[in-house]
Structure 1
Amino acid sequence: MFYILSRLFACTASPWLYILILLGFACFTAKRKVRIGCFSVALVLFLFFSNGYFYGLCLSAYVKPYITDFNAIGHYKYALLPGGFTGYDKARERTDYGFAADRQVDAIELYKLGKVEKLVVTGDGASCKDGNVEVYLDQLERVWGVNREDVIIEPEALNTFQNIDYSLKLVPDMRSENTIVVNSAIYMRRTLLSCRKLDFYPAYYATDVNLSRKWTWQSWIPDFHVMDEWMRLMHEWIGMIAYKLNF
């Protein structure tokens, strides 16, 4: 039920949805003032959601509380990596990496530095039931130099809450204050909420974010790619609502 509810809420995460609704209503209404109002609001929404500067401000406010210093990370037995950073290309029999690949890169760096002993990968594309665990583990060992004996795979999770829940059931020892969660900064708030729901209080490190970006006059030029970034952020806001309703 929770998974279905979160999926339904996610459908409302696109700024384009609201812009198109307003434009559609403006096209079919007979009232001139309402039509002008709908077109005006749609224009304002477009200019706002295609603006990189406004997006940067909102993203920074949302993730800044979870940004920590990589060099200050201590020693942990487990690094827990919620899935979503790889996929499996069946045609080429290869692991593909997405925008969140920093989760794995940073976790491997912690592993190489001796700060974590084992990587727990949960619900990820390349190592889930529809992926290929052997190909994924082979690449980790051959390319990244990670001993496959130090990698624990949880292949069933479909969302953030299941990432934490299923991993704790698979590796109960993670509750012993010896775990650090490595996840994208934009998802960290929801990740830690799931942890608290399960009475689990790990350390954490947020990845995939750059808050030092300099904004110029070009940031004010409408950019359709920013709309995609907004969709991810809005998905998180809506996801938080769904989690709070259930928790």
Structure 2
Amino acid sequence: MFFIASKVLFFLISPLSWIITLLIFAVFSRKDKLKKYALWASCLLLLIFTNPMLSNYAMVQWEYAATPKDQLPYVETAVVLGGMLETGKEPTDQYHFNGSADRINEALLLYKEGIVQRLILSGGSGSLMDQTLREAHFLGTYSQTLTGAYSQEIILEANSRNTYENAIETARILDSLDLKEQKVLLITSASHMARALRCFKKQGILVIPFAVDFRGQQGDWNPFWILPSYASLEDWNILIKEWVGLLTYRLTGYI
């Protein structure tokens, strides 16, 4: 039930949903004053949420700091959180990654460089309708193809559907392998790390964060930051999802 409710909630909190709702209200409202307010509000939200300077500043402030590889302590196991693969898309003999592909690619580089010896790929089906396509299964094949790793070095966790379940299922695997007392490297997007860390610590897992997939850009201001951008809408969608998710997890006792 929580999984379905979260999908609905994240749709409702999307800035684009607010803008479209206000525009529809402006079109169909019979009161001229309300019509005008709704139209102005939708235009104002559109200007705010498509402004790259504002979205970039918010993203830079929120994202978890990067950790240089040469400062990572030795750990045997890294946990890679799913949410980077679009399963079920055509053609089916290809891998369809979204913007979070750095999660798996950076993990495979850490494995190839000998920084970690074992990967736990955590991610089931994120679909409301089809629970047969499990992301971890596809990522396992992808990882073994690229690295030539043995099956015991790539462990698949294909039951979880959200970050809380990622932590629950990973804790079970670590317990079964007698690894719960060892530190593990947690690999996920920089914008998602705050929520993920709290979930894993709640389950008693000793985690070292390794943030990837940075969207915020550090650097000097440039004129293009005042031009509207759809990418800014995507950034705000990610940020609001994380903020609301963090609050929801706190209220439900998940963190």
TM-score by length of 1: 0.87
Change (3 A) 1:75 1:129: farther
Identity, in percent, stands at 22
Shift in Å at residue 226 of structure 1?
2.1
2:154 aligned residue: 151
Matched position secondary structure for 2:7: helix
Taking the TM superposition and a 5 Å limit, the aligned residue runs for 1:78-227 are: 78-88=77-87, 89=89, 91-123=91-123, 129-131=132-134, 136-172=139-175, 173-209=178-214, 210-212=216-218, 214-227=220-233
2:49 aligned residue: 49
Matched position secondary structure for 1:171: helix
Shift in Å at residue 123 of structure 1?
0.9
CA contact (8 A) 1:75 1:114 kept: no
Question: In structure 2, how many angstroms separate the alpha carbons of the residues matched to 1:62 and 1:48?
Answer: 18
Shift in Å at residue 207 of structure 1?
0.3
Question: In structure 2, how many angstroms separate the alpha carbons of the residues matched to 1:134 and 1:195?
Answer: 22
1:246 aligned residue: 252
- Matched to 1:44, the amino acid is L
- Matched to 1:167, the amino acid is T
More strand by share: 1
- Matched to 2:166, the amino acid is N
Matched position secondary structure for 1:48: helix
Matched position secondary structure for 1:121: strand
Structure 1 residues without counterparts, runs of 5 or longer: none
Deviations 1:86-126 (A, max 9, x none): 2445643333322111111211122122221100001156x
CA contact (8 A) 2:201 2:207 kept: no
- Matched to 2:164, the amino acid is F
- Matched to 1:184, the amino acid is S
Question: In structure 2, how many angstroms separate the alpha carbons of the residues matched to 1:16 and 1:96?
Answer: 24
Structure 2 residues without counterparts, runs of 5 or longer: 126-130
Shift in Å at residue 129 of structure 1?
4.2
1:232 aligned residue: 238
Question: In structure 2, how many angstroms separate the alpha carbons of the residues matched to 1:132 and 1:24?
Answer: 37
Shift in Å at residue 44 of structure 1?
1.4
Matched position secondary structure for 1:57: helix
Shift in Å at residue 35 of structure 1?
3.2
Question: In structure 1, how many angstroms separate the alpha carbons of the residues matched to 2:137 and 2:20?
Answer: 45
Change (3 A) 1:19 1:113: same
Deviations 1:102-161 (A, max 9, x none): 111211122122221100001156xx8415877654442332343333100011110011
Shift in Å at residue 181 of structure 1?
0.4
Shift in Å at residue 229 of structure 1?
2.5
1:16 aligned residue: 16
2:67 aligned residue: 68
Question: In structure 2, how many angstroms separate the alpha carbons of the residues matched to 1:53 and 1:69?
Answer: 27
TM-score by length of 2: 0.85
CA contact (8 A) 1:122 1:167 kept: yes
Question: In structure 2, how many angstroms separate the alpha carbons of the residues matched to 1:7 and 1:56?
Answer: 25
Question: In structure 2, how many angstroms separate the alpha carbons of the residues matched to 1:122 and 1:163?
Answer: 6
Matched position secondary structure for 1:196: helix
RMSD: 2.5
Question: In structure 1, how many angstroms separate the alpha carbons of the residues matched to 2:138 and 2:198?
Answer: 32
